[in-house]
Structure 1
Amino acid sequence: MKFLCNSAELPDNGSRGFDLDGRKVMAVRRAGQAYVYVNRCPHRGVPLEWQPDQFLDPSASLIHCATHGALFLIENGECVAGPCAGQFLTALDSREDEQGLWVEL
């Protein structure tokens, strides 16, 4: 497993992007739970964000693709609006311990 960040570096209702060995991933925390996905929209294969660490819609309740406006559920990565409705972000296995957040690539 690869170390992503300390738990405090991913606040509740927050998101962050990471580059791990050339693979772009993103993490979101909601209700204390961290979710980690490949940073790639299933619609065009582009990164989700235009600005660093900006992966959420204004209400911080959905993951937002800045390119074409697709919206994804934080809990499972399902696209619920936009050009790739019904498709999913690629989830990555992750765990959190006293050191922080870890991801399996």
Structure 2
Amino acid sequence: MKFLCAGAELADACSRGFEIDGQKLFAVRRSGQVYVYINRCPHRGVGLEWTPDQFLDPSNSLIQCATHGALFLIEDGECVSGPCAGQSLTRVDCRENAQGIWISL
């Protein structure tokens, strides 16, 4: 397991980008649960963020690709709207404890 960040560094309904061992990732916290994905859209293979740490749509309820507007479910990364509908983001296993958020790469 690799350390990602302290739990307090990822507020609820927020997202944050990271780079661990050359791999670009992002994390989203929703209803207290943390989800981590590789930062790569399945349609074009590009990063998803609008600006640094901005991976969510205006309502903060879906992950949105800045390149073509595809929308992904936060809970499982499935594309529900856009050119890659039916495909999914690549999820990274994570867990959270008192020390922070940890990932398996």
| TM bracket (short chain) | over 0.9
Normalised TM-score (structure 2): 0.99
Q: How many residues align?
A: 105
Query: Equivalent residue for 1:26?
Result: 26
Q: Which runs of 5+ in 1 are unaligned?
A: none
Offset, 1:50: 2.9
User: CA separation in 2, counterparts of 1:72 and 1:78?
Assistant: 5
Give per-residue Cα distances to partners, 1:38-59, cap 9 Å, x unaligned. Answer: 0000000000013100000000
CA-based RMSD of the aligned residues comes to: 0.5
TM-score scaled by structure 1?
0.99
Equivalent positions of 1:35-50 (< 5 A) are 35-50=35-50
| Secondary structure in 2 matching 1:52 | coil
CA apart distance, 1:89: 0.2
1:64-103 to structure 2, matched below 5 A, reads: 64-103=64-103
- Structure 2 runs not aligned, ≥5 long: none
Secondary structure of residue in 2 paired with 1:34: strand
List, as ranges, runs of 4+ consecutive aligned residues in structure 1 with deviation greater than 6 Å.
Answer: none
